Amino acid sequence: MTERRSAKAAPWRNFYGRRRGKGLRDSQKTYLREDLAQLATPSVDWDENPERASLDLAALFGESRPVWLEIGFGGGEHMVHQAALNRDVGLIGCEPYINGVAMLLGKIRAAGVTNLSVHPGDVRDLFDVLPDASIARAFLLYPDPWPKKRHHRRRFVTPEHLEPLARVLAPGAIFRVATDIPDYVRQTIEQVPRHGFTWLAEGPEDWRRPWDDWLSTRYEQKALREGREPHYLTFRRDGPPRMSAAIVL
């Protein structure tokens, strides 16, 4: 049975990032026109789903298929890589930056993967309709660092985002965070365990070495060219915090 939440007006939510960048190429406009409607995650738009009925993931991806979530997929290379490696998994990607969405659609065409769904908008709207404990893995890769101290409340690793993320992640689900910003690392390991996650690091190599199935993104390549060190943080959604290692940045 589809869970239904009480009808209400769309909340007013601050959005500080970019929605659109430089002009799209003709091929990217074609991807958006021809492919996005078929790949767009249903039931997220407030006008179409004002009661915020829960998204039917079994109808979207098939019965018993694990569902993963990538929050802010950038150009989409990691998401397509994971979809190709894990064809028995359904992946939902969120990205409000329409140029990034167009880039992802082009990569999906080239790779021929079909186990993907795209929400071209704010992940908080998707959280509204994801069922409790429905996501088996989540990725937050090179999020906007908002480097100025007065802007740190805009970061993803704040209660506004972590509370609904914790709700939709299943017990034992993995949450991966990659960033090249030391202060973002500090905020992440401070805030994420407060929301029922355990940081799985047992030594420095656990956050300095990329995951075995990692594909370096264009954001990471830029960081490396500019001399910044990537950090790879792995958390498990399972209860009280456990800080298993001291971090030295």
Angle between helices 26-34 and 98-111 (to 10 degrees): 80
Asked if residue 120 lies in contact with residue 96, where contact means CB atoms within 8 angstroms, the answer is: yes
Sequence-separated (6 or more) residues with CB below 8 Å from residue 129: 43, 44, 49, 52, 53, 54, 55
Q: Is 144 a catalytic residue?
A: yes
Greatest Cα pair distance in the chain: 52
d(CA 119, CA 114): 15
Q: How many CA atoms lie within 13 A of 204 on its CB side?
A: 4
CA-based radius of gyration for the chain: 18
The two structure tokens encoding residue 137: 């893995």
Spot the catalytic one: 122, 144, 183, 206: 144
CA 123-42-213 angle, 5° bins: 55
Mind telling me the catalytic residues? 144
